[in-house]
Amino acid sequence: MPSHVVTMLLVDLVLILAAARVLGWLAEKVGQPPVVGEIAAGILAGPTVLGHHLSTSIFPMDTRPALAALANVGIALFMFVAGMETDLGRFAKNRSAVPVVSLSAYVLPFALGSAAALTILARHQTGSRIAFVLFIGCSLAVTAFPVLARILHDRGMFTTPVGQLALGCAAVGDVLAWVVLAGVIASTRTGADQTWRLLLLLPLAAGTWWLVRPVLGRVVGGMSADRSLTLVAVCGALLWGAMTEWAGLHLIFGAFLFGVVFPRGGRERVTAAVQPLGALFMPCFFVIAGLRVDLSAIDRAGVGELVVVIAVAVAGKVLGTYLSARLAGIDKHPARVLAALLNTRGLTELILLDVGLSTGIIGPDLYSLLVVMALITTALTAPLLSLLKSAPATAPAEPSRVSTT
């Protein structure tokens, strides 16, 4: 790498980290999760605000591959932590409500999003119609589990019944989203070489669960040094990410899978070490995502599409969650809070959209619209919760007994 490229890369990293930190701090000051400010920092770095010439001058094409590589490391670590925090034990604790609410909260926005893809968004189709429709449905149905957990923690709702129910539903919804996305990506891959690679994913998943998981339990259980534990976690996340990337899916699936099977005994120590490491790289992802967003190219029809996409995403998620929660015996107030919480998209949505753009399922114009949708719907969560005053921390955990008293 030439000296001038290295120099510019280092300068870019300083700018990226500083902008993400400052805007994340400002977002927190106005009651928003930091990810809202970090997404905004990425968009501000792109052509929408700076223009193509200035944006390219600050972030030259020569440095972008290196930034993208660092962003992928951040994504792998983020997905590993997300997988590790996907505790399906919450499913068992709320077994009467989680299946109903999580499925409805996913299926209704998925169906509405698919319908929008067939009608209003049809002009943005770039390849396979089936893949495009399913991807749009998936992108409007996802909930950002890690962002949701941060919101619950910041508002003192993490251990409340409605908070635990929201986490359980989000965990199931995230698993559904990644399974659907994996199927969509697989459907776009053609050729004998690609087919046999994809087929290897089944034994990889089975082997990871039945063989690697128990071995990891013994290995990690015998580790006392935090450094060794962190090394196993990071190397495993990157290796599993590399395997699914090679197989033709995306590195997010392998990293997530390794996080799911990682022993829970070392979770706190690993999270404490890996999260700051991922946070160091993730701002690169926000900038790479923002550099691809060009709202100046959106015409009047695009503005109308953005309004419809936001309305469909919010209505589908809120109605799907609220109605199913009421059917499950949850009182009106906590059902409303649950609906507001599951409308959070944030970083998970951006990762999903990045996969869609990089695989050619969606084009740059629709990508820009959906990034703005992710930003707005995530930003809506905090004011909605403030409006609802949140659920009482003393409410019991069982859905049939969750009430506003």
CATH number at residue 209: 1.20.1530.20
Contacts of residue 378, Cβ cutoff 8 Å, sequence gap at least 6: 33, 35, 36, 39, 144, 147, 344, 345, 346, 349
Mean pLDDT throughout 183-188? 82
Percentage of residues in the chain having pLDDT higher than 90:
44
Which position has the token pair 């390219």? 56
Q: Look at residue 51 and tell me if it is in a domain.
A: no
C-alpha to C-alpha distance for 92 and 90, rounded to whole angstroms: 5
C-alpha to C-alpha distance for 361 and 134, rounded to whole angstroms: 10
Q: For residue range 296-332, list pLDDT tens digits in order.
A: 878 888 899 999 999 999 999 999 999 999 998 899 9
Q: Look at residue 177 and tell me if it is in a domain.
A: yes
User: Residue 141's domain spans which residues?
Assistant: 93-281+297-388
Q: How many CB atoms lie within 10 A of CB 246?
A: 12
Higher pLDDT, 149 or 11: 11
The predicted structure's pLDDT at residue 94: 66
The predicted structure's pLDDT at residue 191: 62
Q: Look at residue 175 and tell me if it is in a domain.
A: yes
Angle formed at CA 259 by CA 225 and CA 291, multiple of 5 degrees:
110
Mean pLDDT throughout 43-54? 89
Note whether 327 and 100 are within 8 A (CB): yes
Q: For residue range 66-105, list pLDDT tens digits in order.
A: 999 999 999 999 889 888 877 666 666 667 788 889 999 9
The predicted structure's pLDDT at residue 192: 56
Q: Is the pLDDT of residue 64 over 90?
A: yes
C-alpha to C-alpha distance for 258 and 215, rounded to whole angstroms: 13
Structure tokens at 220: 């990690």
C-alpha to C-alpha distance for 137 and 111, rounded to whole angstroms: 6
Mean pLDDT throughout 254-258? 91
Q: Is the pLDDT of residue 391 over 90?
A: no
Q: Is the pTM of this model over 0.75?
A: yes
C-alpha to C-alpha distance for 270 and 230, rounded to whole angstroms: 6
Note whether 283 and 37 are within 8 A (CB): no
Grade residue 395 by pLDDT with cuts at 50, 70 and 90: very low
Q: Is the pLDDT of residue 51 over 70?
A: yes
The predicted structure's pLDDT at residue 347: 81
Mean pLDDT of the chain, nearest integer: 86
Q: Look at residue 359 and tell me if it is in a domain.
A: yes
Q: For the chain, how many structural domains are there in total?
A: 1
The predicted structure's pLDDT at residue 396: 40
Q: Look at residue 289 and tell me if it is in a domain.
A: no
Q: Look at residue 139 and tell me if it is in a domain.
A: yes
Mean pLDDT throughout 234-245? 94
Note whether 368 and 350 are within 8 A (CB): no
Note whether 259 and 80 are within 8 A (CB): yes
